[in-house]
Amino acid sequence: MSRFVRLCETASPTGEERAVADLLRNELESLGLEVFEDAAAGPTGAGAGNLLTRVPGKPGTGGKDSGYIMFCAHIDTVPHNGQIEVLLDDEGVYRSAGATILGADNKAAVAVLVELAARAVREPPATGIELLFTVAEEQGLLGAKAFDQSLLKSSVGFVLDQASDIGQVITEAPTHIGIRGIFKGVEAHAGLIPESGRSAIAAAARAIGEMKLGRLDEETTANIGRIEGGTSGNVVPGSCIVAGEARSVDPARVTEVIAAMTDAMVWAASESGCEVDIATEKHFTGYRVGDDSRALALAEGALAVAGRIPERVSTGGGSDASVFRERGMDCLLLANGTYDNHTDQESVPRENLAAMLDICEEIVALAGAS
């Protein structure tokens, strides 16, 4: 538990991961493990690269001849003001002592995985373990995207990064596409010659008014989250930026929604005498985990052995698992028992850290037996 506190109190907002990466490397090397750091810091803008280490399986059943399974957690956090101070309250729940995040996202999982490695070093399991610690996750899964997945020996992996009750296994996640429109109008003095102007903000507002936003169905959402334009209250605005997104587990549906948002922008610009430049970008690809997934079988088996009732759920967010699955790995996102992430109310019960560790150990044991 002291390791968890040390990790949380070592600041690592995205772009400033160096200190926690060094702390983590020292922890792993003190166990006698070799740690590889890749070059992801450059392309991602992170303060360090992704870290990869391995714990071989038992000689004879492990080592070079054994399979491996991968566990992953990210070491960066969202930005925060002030030093994080960890408090363990009277109910056995870790919280921030001040008005900052706790950092349990995702350092609760990081601490658990280091302890998993420590136990595996003392008593080697029947299967090898790979631990991957990614950077720049909070800014769009950038560390995982920059990681050379061919370095992994594992074909099955687990990402411990779902802030919800332990026992939940995420079997559905969305494709996420961002959209940005730059409306170009004509500036004019708003009091003297407004007729000569073409309001880019009015065009943008008209476009947004035509869009269907919010929860569109059980699997699909759409949002406009940013609108910015104009220079002064007495000037008809000549430029306005609108940015948003759509998400759906159904890839055809998210494409359909983005097309409708694009059409709304084009129509509104034309009707308002403006122009619009539109760009879209896919941030990650969605998935549905099938019943034939070995990762799913291992996770649900481990949860059952640990006395938990597995619950298959869908998420509206992305994780490093989205990246690994898109590249062909049988990878599963697991709940880690943390709550209220990205806020000053963030917390994790001490018993959930122990439960996470138990489940990871059971996954390793089942993998070695199958």
Q: Classify 363 as helix, strand or coil.
A: helix
Q: Please, what is the angle between helix 350-369 and helix 294-305, to 10°?
A: 120
d(CA 318, CA 323): 9
Question: Catalytic site residues?
Answer: 76, 137
Handedness of CA 262, 267, 270, 271 (dihedral sign): negative
Return the number of other C-beta atoms located less than 10 Å from residue 321's C-beta.
29
Q: Classify 365 as helix, strand or coil.
A: helix
Distance of CA 233 to the CA centre of its chain: 39
Alpha-carbon distances, residue 264 vs 36, 115, 139, 207 (angstroms): 48, 52, 28, 5
Burial of 47 by CB count in 10 Å (0-12 exposed, 13-18 middle, 19+ buried)? buried
d(CA 287, CA 300): 18
Distance of CA 272 to the CA centre of its chain: 39
Alpha-helical regions (H) of the chain: 2-8, 18-29, 41-44, 104-122, 142-146, 200-210, 251-271, 294-305, 320-326, 350-369
Q: Nearest to residue 104, comparing CAs of 15, 18, 1?
A: 1
Q: Is residue 83 within 8 Å of residue 8, measured between CB atoms?
A: no
Give the type of residue at 305. V
